[in-house]
Amino acid sequence: MAEKPLVGIIMGSKSDFPVMKDAVDILSEFGIACDVDIVSAHRTPEKMMDYAASAYDNGLKVIIAGAGGAAHLPGMVASVTTLPVVGVPVKSSNSIDGWDSILSILQMPGGVPVATVALNAAKNAGILAAQIIGTFDSDVQDRLKAYKESLKEKVAQMSRDIQSE
Ligand code: RP5
């Protein structure tokens, strides 16, 4: 039987998927099951409300929501659920320069936080979600520690490389 998803990854359009796939991939590296769907704040508002209202009961621990342009999906989902929401601003075809997506997700009113990552930074959203799961899952915690070590080793290698040039 497939593992129950702990992270819900949603995005406003399939056109966001090339960016959002980075979150799917890193979560799979950490061995965390996720559920991926297209949920649009503007085009499927009822689906968005249902998704957000039932996310906790469906066993999700974190929601990653990505959208571009007038990116209302992460904030609207956060307004309904008590789960942590990580927002990914996507530089989409209807983004002016990406700032519209960033600010729509970042500038939430007090009381309704969205943990906003950098433009197109779905990988970081996945890592942040894994870190939340890692607070109560020791296997994930161990994988995160190994990941941090691998980052250190990468920089150490760069340092050796530049010194030998
Ligand atoms: C947003 O509009 C979506 O999240 C996407 O980033 C953008 C463009 O959507 P499509 O026109 O490609 O469906 O709501």
Residue-wise pLDDT tens digits, 74-102: 999 999 999 999 999 999 999 999 999 99
Residue 43's pLDDT is what?
98
Q: Is 79 exposed, middle or buried (0-12, 13-18, 19+ CB in 10 A)?
A: middle
Cα(75) to centroid of ligand 1, in Å?
Answer: 16
* Domain boundaries of the chain, sorted by first residue: 7-140
* Residues near ligand 1 (Cβ within 6 A): 11-13, 15-16, 40, 67-69, 90, 92-94
Residue 1's pLDDT is what?
62
Q: Which atom of ligand 1 sits closest to the CA of residue 40?
A: 14
Considering the entire predicted model, what is its pTM?
0.96
Element (H, E) at 90: strand 85-90
Q: What share of the chain is helix, strand, coil (3-state, %, to 5)?
A: 50, 15, 35
Dig out the tokens for 157 from the structure.
Answer: 């290698």
Residue 2's pLDDT is what?
76
Question: Tokens 């915690």 map to which residue?
Answer: 141
Residue-wise pLDDT tens digits, 62-79: 999 999 999 999 999 999
Q: Please state which CATH class domain 7-140 belongs to.
A: alpha beta
Closest protein CA for atom 9 of ligand 1 = 13
Residue-wise pLDDT tens digits, 27-45: 999 999 999 999 999 999 9
